[in-house]
A = this chain, B = another copy of it.
Amino acid sequence: MDDAVYWYAVATVLLFVKMLATGLYQGYHRITKMTFKTPEDARMAGKEPASEELPQVQQASKAWSNDLENIPIFLALGVAYVLVGASPAFAGWLFMAFTAARYAHTLAYLAKLQPWRTIAYGVGLLCMIAMSVLIVMALG
């Protein structure tokens, strides 16, 4: 199996696990505190709808929004990287650095740790810029 394909698959599974964990974190807080904003969910739990989401749920949503602005385009760049046959030697480093940066980003968001959140965001962007450069070089 091509090295870039191997690391693409590893990154995809790890990023899915991270998104799953974020969803479970939100569900855990909603269920243990019995706090639901969506009326049909509150009704199912026999509660009045909450006027707003819990702080932990809101913070996780912000982390998730940032994920959605970064992870799908990373995954698409990863596919392009594989399909054009860009440097297999760099694939593992770049894909794993991006993945680690996004784990760090979510943790920093939940813990409200600045400037670490911004640094993690920047590392992820740098990985995507490097991937873009390697893709364009492979096209040339």
Interface of A with B (CB < 8 Å)? Answer: 1, 5-6, 8-10, 12-13, 15-17, 19-20, 23, 38-41, 43-44, 62, 64, 68-69, 71-73, 75-80, 82-85, 112-115, 117-118, 125, 128-129, 132, 135-136, 138-139
Copy number in the complex reads: 3
Whether A76 lies near B72 (C-beta < 8 A) is yes
Which of A23, A68, A80, A128 has the most chain B CB atoms inside 10 A of its CB? A80
**Least distance between A124 CB and chain B CB atoms (Å):** 11
Chain B residues with CB under 8 A of A10: 139
A9-B135, A43-B114, A69-B19 as given contacts; A79 in contact with B77, CB under 8 Å: no
Chain B residues with CB under 8 A of A43: 114
Additional 19 contacts, C-beta under 8 A, given A1-B85, A12-B79: A1-B84, A6-B139, A10-B139, A12-B73, A13-B77, A13-B80, A15-B76, A16-B77, A19-B69, A38-B62, A41-B118, A43-B114, A68-B68, A68-B72, A71-B72, A71-B73, A72-B75, A72-B76, A75-B76
Q: Which of B62, B73, B79, B118 contacts A15 (CB 8 A)?
A: B73
Q: Which of B12, B83, B114, B129 contacts A8 (CB 8 A)?
A: B83
